[in-house]
Amino acid sequence: MKKRIVVLGIGFAGFRFLKKINLNIYHVTVISPRNHFLFNPLLPSTTVGTIEFRSIIEPVRNLKGITFIQGYCRQIDKKDNKIICEDINSQKLFEINFDYLVIAVGEVTNTYGIEDVNKYALFLKDLSDARKIRTKVINCYENASVPGISEEEKKRLLRFVVCGGGATGVEFAAELHDFIEEDVKKKYKYIEKHVEIILIEAGNEILASFDKKLREYTTKLFGRDKIKVKFNSLVDGISENRIHVNDGTIIDFGLLVWATGNSPTMLIKESNFPFDKRGKIYVDSFFRVSKHKLTGIEENEFYDNIYALGDCTHIISGELPVTAQVAQKEGLFLAKYFNKKFKTIKPFTFKNLGMLAYIGSNKALADLPKYKGTGFTTFLFWRSAYLTKLVSFKNKILVLFDWTKTILFGRDVSNF
Condensed to tens digits (0 to 9), the pLDDT of residues 45-101 reads 999 999 999 999 999 999 999 999 999 999 999 999 999 999 998 999 999 999 999
Question: What is the share, in percent, of the chain residues with pLDDT greater than 90?
Answer: 87
- pLDDT, averaged across the chain: 94
- Residue 205 near residue 215, CB atoms below 8 Å: yes
- What is d(CA 130, CA 124) in angstroms, rounded to the nearest whole number? 6
- What is d(CA 287, CA 308) in angstroms, rounded to the nearest whole number? 6
* Residue 298 or 370, more confident: 370
- What is d(CA 64, CA 19) in angstroms, rounded to the nearest whole number? 10
Give the phi and the psi of residue 233 in degrees, each rounded to 5.
-125, 120
Threshold 0.85, pTM exceeds: yes
pLDDT reading at 295 higher than 60: no
pLDDT at 86 (0 to 100): 96
Q: What secondary structure letter does DSSP report for 347?
A: P
Range in 240-254, 308-322, 394-408 the model is least confident about: 308-322
First-to-last C-alpha distance (Å) of the chain = 50
Condensed to tens digits (0 to 9), the pLDDT of residues 7-56 reads 999 999 999 999 999 999 999 999 999 999 999 999 999 999 999 999 99
Identify the bridge partners of residue 109 per DSSP, sorted by sequence position: 262
- Assign 294 a pLDDT band (cuts: 50, 70, 90): low
* Domains of the chain from N-terminus onward: 3-109+262-339 (3.50.50.100), 117-260 (3.50.50.60)
H or E element, residue 20: helix 12-20
pLDDT reading at 168 higher than 60: yes
Q: What is the mean pLDDT of the segment spanning 339-351?
A: 89
- Assign 300 a pLDDT band (cuts: 50, 70, 90): low
pLDDT at 44 (0 to 100): 97
Condensed to tens digits (0 to 9), the pLDDT of residues 129-146 reads 999 999 999 999 999 999
Condensed to tens digits (0 to 9), the pLDDT of residues 189-207 reads 888 889 999 999 999 999 9
pLDDT reading at 299 higher than 60: no
Residues 6+ apart with CB under 8 A from 1: none
